[in-house]
Amino acid sequence: MSIVRIKELVATLNEANRAYYQEDREIISNLEYDNLYDELVRLEKETGVRLAGSPTRKVGYEVVSNLKKSPHDVPMLSLDKTKEPEALSAFLGEYNGLLSWKLDGLTVVLKYDDGELQQALTRGNGYIGEDITHNARVFRNVPLTVPYKGKFDLRGEAVISIADFEDINELEENKYKNPRNLCSGAVRQLNSETAAKRRVLFFAFSLKTDEVFEKKSEQLAWLDAQGFEIAEYEIVTAKNVAQAVAKFKEKITAASVMSDGLVLTYDDIAYSESLGSTSKFPRDSVAFKWADEIAETTLIKVEWGTSRTGLINPVAIFEPVEIEGTQVSRASLHNVSILRGLGLCEGDRISVYKANMIIPQVAENLSRSDAYENILIPSNCPVCNGETEIRQSSPDDPETLYCTNPSCDAQQVRALAHFVSRDALNIGGLSEQTLEKLIGGGMITDFGDLFSLAKFENEIKKMEGFGQKSYDNLINSIETAKDVELPNFIYALGIRHVGLANAKLLCKFFKHDAQEITEACKNESYMETLSEIKGFGEAISHSLHVYFSQEKNFNLFSRTLEILRIKTPAESAGEKPLDGLTFVITGDVTQFKNRKELQTYIENAGGRVTNSVTAKTSFLINNDAHSSSSKNKKAAQLGVPVITEADLCDKIE
């Protein structure tokens, strides 16, 4: 039960962190959070299990120069396939079997020794895989430490949930067709920070160890006790395997991750090992593939929808048809390349199916009139009527359509969401959904309008999810947000390359005088002035110049500045101990709650924190001075001193 409780605590605490840091809302009190956190720390110590997604883990991202190749101890063969439930009964004969999901992701091998994750490999060509250990360490549910101290290997599937796929794909420039493609790209990234943002999960399904087990089901129970997530399975016989297949099929629409079928394997380990394999397939397992239900229908039209990133996606609208028990009338075509590849024309007969029985897809254009020019790729955005353009990052990437108007309502939502975020104006009660409604209702067109929402009291209280109390909370939050420091306001503007740290440096240089800042940024000799700010190069300076030189931006900034009550940060007397010094933080922190707290400590002492080690870096902070991390190597190359947290505190005190 301790392992189950650890997973519950990790999920609860991470959800609380997400709500607090990303959505500006509290779902549990600070006291309750601290109690749950302490309980998690205690259980991790007692069990020896610590998950990669645990909030007790200080994440240090790693970048590798390339993915090294490594041979598999045992070849990873493909599975023979069938679409007939009767064939599964014949396969089992008199033996019991394990029937489980065939998850649609990327097969990964994890190797453990002395209670710690040592290596992770992709399937590769079945004989040689790619080393993705740096990425496996940031999978959301992979145990980094386990109570068992011996050696063991396990196989499993790296996947991205359907909900996470939809959220992430909304922000991707090049749309991924399905969660598997997104997961495959995430798992094989050179930078583990990218993999972490993709929210990869891992589900175990087989084990290789010197420990003695008679049944594979016993191995799975053992893996569960070590802290691993196990792919859902049922123990079946020849008599009931067909009924078990039907049960799994009923669960598909409610499943959180994609599957492309089921896997059946013998439960008896000795019998499985006695069967050996062919040159292509192991003889102890077989894959059951869902028979895609394909329906014919007629294409009515293609609609185009603009996302929050400005990406415009084509969607096929067709005569309703029933597939897998539900009516379907639309399917995403993903991008311009797929639209052209299908050669679609209004009125064409098309075949449609549900990929993995969930996501509607256009399988084929049966008419093939090749008159797809009749479906015009819009030259104007369907939301704002602004001009569009087709972009292609490289010859191998798909062609995608974009709206070029930065004031497009669809893109405004994203800009406004940034403006009200925690490190900006910190206005609670304004989710992206609420902002969409306010824009759609004509109540706001830019961030300056947020401060006059009170005149739309009746309209806001009639919005779904709003009443008198929620309206009052929103207005009070906006009023409170007027008391803001200038760096937070400048950060809220969303100027390219100007994060909160750079906004603080800019304000400090001009002694928090907004007029001096705008005059310097608008001036034709802006580069000469702004380059005097430590860390400001051409990219940052040019972005500031472009932003404030545009009359619309400058007027909006000035108008909003008159509404706000700019607070001047309290500066301690005299020179600060870290004035003029630039720091990079890497590795685990011990004396501070997290890196953010350490960064604030440095900035309050006059220092600056950046992400990359360069010749301008004064110190790299890493409690492990002998670490082989890329930042330590870079510091050694450039002669940048590596210090610990304790060393830093000594400098300040």
Rounded to an integer, the average pLDDT of 194-202 is 84
Helical H segments across 441-576, by residue range: 457-461, 468-481, 486-492, 500-509, 514-522, 526-530, 538-549, 551-563
Rounded CA separation 493/503 (Å) = 10
Range from 151-155, 349-353, 514-518, 539-543 carrying the lowest mean pLDDT:
539-543
Rounded to an integer, the average pLDDT of 211-240 is 92
According to DSSP, residue 621 is labeled E
- The sign of the dihedral angle between the CA atoms of 495, 496, 499, 501 is negative
Model confidence pLDDT, tens digit, residues 248-259: 888 877 778 888
How long a stretch of residues is the chain?
A: 653
Asked if 36 and 6 count as a contact pair (C-beta separation under 8 A), the reply is no
What pLDDT is stored for residue 38 in this prediction?
77
Rounded to an integer, the average pLDDT of 374-402 is 80
What pLDDT is stored for residue 24 in this prediction?
39
Residue 328: in which H helix or E strand, if any?
strand 326-332
Rounded to an integer, the average pLDDT of 102-123 is 91
Rounded to an integer, the average pLDDT of 607-612 is 79
Model confidence pLDDT, tens digit, residues 486-525: 999 999 998 877 888 788 889 988 889 999 999 999 988 8
What pLDDT is stored for residue 575 in this prediction?
60
Does 280 participate in catalysis according to the annotation? Answer: no
Q: What are phi and psi of 438, to 5 degrees?
A: -65, -40
At residue 16, does pLDDT exceed 90? Answer: no
What pLDDT is stored for residue 152 in this prediction?
94
More confident residue, 465 or 426: 426
At residue 62, does pLDDT exceed 70? Answer: no
Q: Which residue has the tokens 């185009």?
A: 304
What pLDDT is stored for residue 564 in this prediction?
94
Rounded CA separation 154/109 (Å) = 6
At residue 622, does pLDDT exceed 60? Answer: yes
Question: Among residues 45, 81, 102, 522, which one is catalytic?
Answer: 102
pTM of the model: 0.49
309 band by pLDDT with thresholds 50, 70 and 90: low
What pLDDT is stored for residue 653 in this prediction?
55
At residue 571, does pLDDT exceed 70? Answer: no
Question: Nearest to residue 162, comparing CAs of 203, 108, 104, 202?
Answer: 104
At residue 99, does pLDDT exceed 60? Answer: yes
What pLDDT is stored for residue 31 in this prediction?
62
371 band by pLDDT with thresholds 50, 70 and 90: low
Rounded CA separation 56/46 (Å) = 14
At residue 578, does pLDDT exceed 60? Answer: yes
19 band by pLDDT with thresholds 50, 70 and 90: low
Q: What average pLDDT does the chain have?
A: 83
At residue 22, does pLDDT exceed 50? Answer: no
- The sign of the dihedral angle between the CA atoms of 54, 60, 61, 66 is negative
Rounded CA separation 416/413 (Å) = 5
Asked if 585 and 594 count as a contact pair (C-beta separation under 8 A), the reply is no
What does the block give as tokens for 436?
A: 């969409």
What pLDDT is stored for residue 23 in this prediction?
43
Range from 38-52, 304-318, 362-376, 554-568 carrying the lowest mean pLDDT:
362-376
